Amino acid sequence: MKFMKLGSKPDAFQADGRCIRYVTSELATDVVVNVGEVKFYLHKQSLAETSAESREEISDEINMVDFPGGPKAFEICAKFCYGMTVTLNAYNVVAARCAAEYLEMTEDVDRGNLVFKIEDPSNITWSYTYNRKLSVTDKIIEDRLKFGERNDSVPKDWWVEDICELEIDLYKRLMITVKSKGRMDGSVIGEALRTYAVRWLPDSVDALISDAHSRRNKFLVETIVCLLPSDKGVGCSCSFLLKLLKVAILVGVDDSTREDLVNRISLKFHEASVKDLLIPARSPQTTFYDVELVYSIVNRFMMQEKSSQGLDVERNEKKGTDDFVLGHGSLLGVGKLVDGYLMEIAHDPNLSLSSFIDLSLSIPDAARPIHDGLYKAIDEYMKEHPGLTKAERKKICGLMDVRKLTIDASMHAAQNERLPLRVVVQVLFFEQVRAAAGVHAPNNNPRDASHSTTNTDEEWEKAAVEDDRRSLKKQMSRMKGMERTGALRHLGVHKALLHWLLGIPSHPVHLQDTGGTPYLR
């Protein structure tokens, strides 16, 4: 909050009960000023030096009827007359300005009078307090001030806290004016709206939807949304927008407001967290969370991603290029986010298999260079839904590619009794192939590959993406070549097993269980 200190003398005002204020001085007071229920015992000489009336014109007792700002505003003016230190801030500056006008404390009476001090702030040194979390730039400014460095710079959003005291109607008018001037960044506007929402929106669901406040909360949310920066890609964090969407759904905002929020969120979806996406479902939905809404946001993000970059994911995958993956960290972030969300909603007994599969398929393969997160979500879903049929378990497991599992995930999957037997055998098979070829399993954190002292992990990541783009025939051809050279026979892998793994009709494969590890007879 910005503030300005005027005067330098100590505050000599004293109180005698609630209705009497007087100045401690060697000189006896000679005038009583009645402002509302408060009596001020003052000195004519001090008042005459800054007010329009001369000492002779001031009577011994003055009644101030309907004084603007009341006793508090008059006390500020009185202290200014005595040269005592007063602090003007967002809470009292308007009242002080009106009171000074009423008392005619202008330049015609005395140079540097109170009206001038308030209206020409460019010539006045302002200070500020900053109660919110400081940004990096603001922290530098604060540190300089602490160490005595002269710096007139203040944070651009110093006024954000001040205007939070305004009622929503006046706040809306003020923010429209601020936006129309075009002098404020979208980020500052967004911070102002976030701070106001935190100040006025209740924390509990019951308070949000209570009969006494639901209408007001609805109007407040709709107003904040309509005041969001026109550039939808800047201004507010995705986390704040998602929290605002949760509240908007609870208070029942109109469709256009909700649609605006969803569009804004989809532009910054890669910045979200799984916690932000846990939006409670509303009737008639039976799931814990609104999965349909998240599915819609993911689809919009993908459409905007393709449109903004001028790239077609499917076309690039067919060409075998990995430019889209390497140049789009946001896509990888969304892949990780979706898998994390799938892990959370997998616990819901009312979540249908089709909803789980649709959301999983809403992002391209390029968004998942590693399938550990997807595997964990699939395993959790099967654990929470033990009634899945064999066909359903096969269908959900078909979402993941065992070649993209890390060593830890592969070891877990190889011993997972919930997985179909074919998946377990595929895991073991590809681990054997990797071991024979000297290729490491994918790194669980592909971004760390660039910091490795070898190129092994980086080579695997590229190889995994490349393998995923190859057709089944090419994979079959490679495996057949390995069989002819004896590599697969060295591993003890039979041609019939190879056909069975790749889904090619052949004679039945007979497996025996030796301590939980299937092998070919």
**What digits encode the pLDDT tens for the residues 159-208?**
888 788 888 998 999 999 988 888 888 888 999 999 999 999 888 788 78
Report residue 138's pLDDT band, with 50, 70 and 90 as the boundaries.
very low
The model carries a pTM of: 0.66
Residue 376 corresponds to which tokens in the numbers above? 């964990």
Report residue 510's pLDDT band, with 50, 70 and 90 as the boundaries.
very low
| Percentage of the chain lying above the pLDDT 90 cut | 40
Beta bridge mates, 289: 280
CA 462/CA 429 separation, integer angstroms:
21
Residue 32, φ and ψ in degrees, nearest 5: -115, 125
Burial environment of residue 509 by CB neighbours within 10 A (0 to 12, 13 to 18, 19 or more): middle
Instruction: Provide mean pLDDT across the span 430-440.
Output: 74
For residue 362, give the 3-state DSSP assignment.
coil
CB neighbour list of residue 370: distance below 8 Å, 6 or more residues apart: 404, 405, 406, 442, 443, 444, 446
Report residue 118's pLDDT band, with 50, 70 and 90 as the boundaries.
confident
**pLDDT confidence of residue 93:** 86
CB neighbour list of residue 73: distance below 8 Å, 6 or more residues apart: 67, 92, 95, 96, 98, 99
Residue 99 corresponds to which tokens in the numbers above? 């009171």
Token look-up 């509990």 returns 204
| Half-sphere exposure for 259 (CA within 13 Å, toward CB) | 3
Residue 260 has pLDDT above 90, yes or no: yes
**pLDDT confidence of residue 456:** 43
Per the prediction, the chain carries an average pLDDT of 78
Note the pLDDT tens digit of each residue in 285-341: 899 999 999 999 999 999 988 876 665 555 555 555 544 444 467 889 999 999 999
Q: Which of 271-285, 298-312, 443-457 has the lowest mean pLDDT?
A: 443-457
**Amino acid identity of 227?**
L
